[in-house]
Structure 1
């Protein structure tokens, strides 16, 4: 895993040059599971990069993988609201629905039908080895569901339905791209050239720590949501566990809560955790919490204002999603028809 990541990172300057030279050659597929409100980790980790790629002229598809919500939980409750709110955050952050296609997994039947032939191209052992499958299974405390086990193949279908050839990922998700490349290669070898082998695009986005020092995550309850009000942000930050040492220092292992606050403030001010610690000095955790609250609220002020304007008309997000679903269905139907033709299964169309 480490060697693969290092090799992928080494290829990034050359890939960046190719994107800059001809952005129209690339098609990006990216997205997330709508399991809750999007937060600062999503913004700094992925959303900001999507806006940047869009501005460079790269065709981008953003999937809200609603079917995957039930991969490790019993209910799909709140998914509709989560999808709606995610679209609002995308638009507020700068994604342009005229240039970026935003769609829901469950609304594109032909995409999901690709799962069946793709499953024939992977082994059970490959699925069990996937780090995300193992991590999500361990975190769920439940029996491994068939949906979670096949999650990497669903992601391959998400990427390949639109013939995506560029996938922004962090280190943890690199195995998904590698499996997708294997699926594309094996299908091409068995049935004829159909899919590109997508390239991983590893960004420089840092892993965003939550307010308790762990990775920012909805499931940990340590996240600052993009949709929070200023007062809600202040309350969440005040609840962060720190310590009685008045000297503020950046020591993630020894002082995770303090480190999480410093990292959050640094990201929102364009500084470093060490510089923020020096600025707060010996004023204690109360002063650090106030500094972080002010930094987050200032950083998100424009986003929140745009989001509130968009949210005033609930039909806006619905229209964006409806049009994105339409575009995705046209493309998925075309790809599925090609797949059936390659496999010699287009006889029902004759």
Structure 2
């Protein structure tokens, strides 16, 4: 056992942090896991999800959503959480929540997630999951939460005037999300490694204190490169710079036409020197399944206008089947709610079983 205490107590050495060594270790472990998944995919359970703060965009699609579909298709038991409670971490009010939750389900199904093979469920619909938060909070210290780099960043970018308890305990709530179903794989970006380390710490301390109940989940680091928004900053639902999956072809063309480039007419793929141009080249390459260097070379001296035409055509061609499925699915909102209810019931049964184990381990089964 590493970094813990044998009695399940709090130890500063356990405080989560992210470093090059952490990332390197996660990448090495990820390579091992890929081999194990290929050999026996049904042995693994994945938990992943999104906050329903807006429609999913191409950054989500190439960063996580496409990978979820691949894991599902390989035979991995996949659970996808719609984290509606966590919308409140950095917002005073969760507006239009029902519509946004249903839009997420539409995006999931249109992208290829199959509710017969993937459990899609909402946070607030699984009480037993959220009940795990209470014993888990007893296993971490305030100082450990305060030092968590992801929490510090989220607090810095919060739109609230003060920090809520929900935001402060966000990593422990995520631990409940992951551990309620005993997920052993969690797809994350490098910035989410500290959150996952909190989950591993909670699992280890619970097991040390009460007996073996939870696995310590591994990270599956995403290999997807960062896609910038049309303004040259990180693509984000809240910044109005995102190419959403649900946008029409004309809306997509208009957004790409206004995308930021630079003054150099010759198009090259140089992410460090020309981030905005390179992100557009990469987007076209991802949609076409090609090498971005080759895409840039073909555009050559065509300049920003030719680049944007290439990107527009690539994006709209790639998303056309997905958008057609989404339009058809959107005609039957009752079906969307049925998918969610079925997923909620399945997740609820898993959570109740885990909570029973926790109560038994803690001696609170009355």
TM-score in same-fold range (> 0.5):
yes
Q: Secondary structure in 1 aligned to 2:157?
A: helix
Q: How does 1:16-95 map to 2 (within 5 A)?
A: 16-95=34-113
Following superposition, the deviation at residue 251 of structure 1 comes to 4.2
Q: How does 1:287-306 map to 2 (within 5 A)?
A: 287-306=306-325
Following superposition, the deviation at residue 309 of structure 1 comes to 1.2
1:212/1:256 contact within 8 Å kept? no
1:152/1:179 contact within 8 Å kept? yes
Selected match of 1:6 from 11, 24, 27: 24
Normalised by the length of structure 1, the TM-score is: 0.95
Selected match of 1:240 from 259, 268, 275: 259
Following superposition, the deviation at residue 285 of structure 1 comes to 1.4
1:208/1:216 contact within 8 Å kept? yes
Q: How does 1:130-169 map to 2 (within 5 A)?
A: 130-142=148-160, 143-169=162-188
Which ranges in structure 1 are unaligned for 5 or more consecutive residues?
none
What is the rounded CA distance, in whole Å, between the counterparts of 1:95 and 1:249 in structure 2? 35
Cα-to-partner distance string for 1:51-99 (whole Å, 9 max, x where unaligned):
1111111111100001111100111102211111111111111111011
Residue 129 (structure 1) aligns with? 147
What is the rounded CA distance, in whole Å, between the counterparts of 2:282 and 2:142 in structure 1? 40
**Farther off after superposition, 317-326 or 271-280:** 271-280
Residue 214 of structure 1 pairs with residue 233 of structure 2? yes
Residue 338 of structure 1 pairs with residue 357 of structure 2? yes
**Farther off after superposition, 109-118 or 23-32:** 23-32
What is the rounded CA distance, in whole Å, between the counterparts of 1:85 and 1:151 in structure 2? 24
Residue 216 (structure 2) aligns with? 197
Q: Secondary structure in 2 aligned to 1:306?
A: helix
Q: Report the number of matched residues.
A: 347
Residue 183 of structure 1 pairs with residue 202 of structure 2? yes
Following superposition, the deviation at residue 202 of structure 1 comes to 1.8
1:133/1:149 contact within 8 Å kept? yes
What is the rounded CA distance, in whole Å, between the counterparts of 1:314 and 1:247 in structure 2? 47
Q: How does 1:241-320 map to 2 (within 5 A)?
A: 241-252=260-271, 255-320=274-339
What is the rounded CA distance, in whole Å, between the counterparts of 1:282 and 1:28 in structure 2? 45
Cα-to-partner distance string for 1:315-342 (whole Å, 9 max, x where unaligned):
1211100100011111111111211121
**Farther off after superposition, 205-214 or 258-267:** 205-214
2:63/2:224 contact within 8 Å kept? yes
Q: Secondary structure in 1 aligned to 2:120?
A: strand
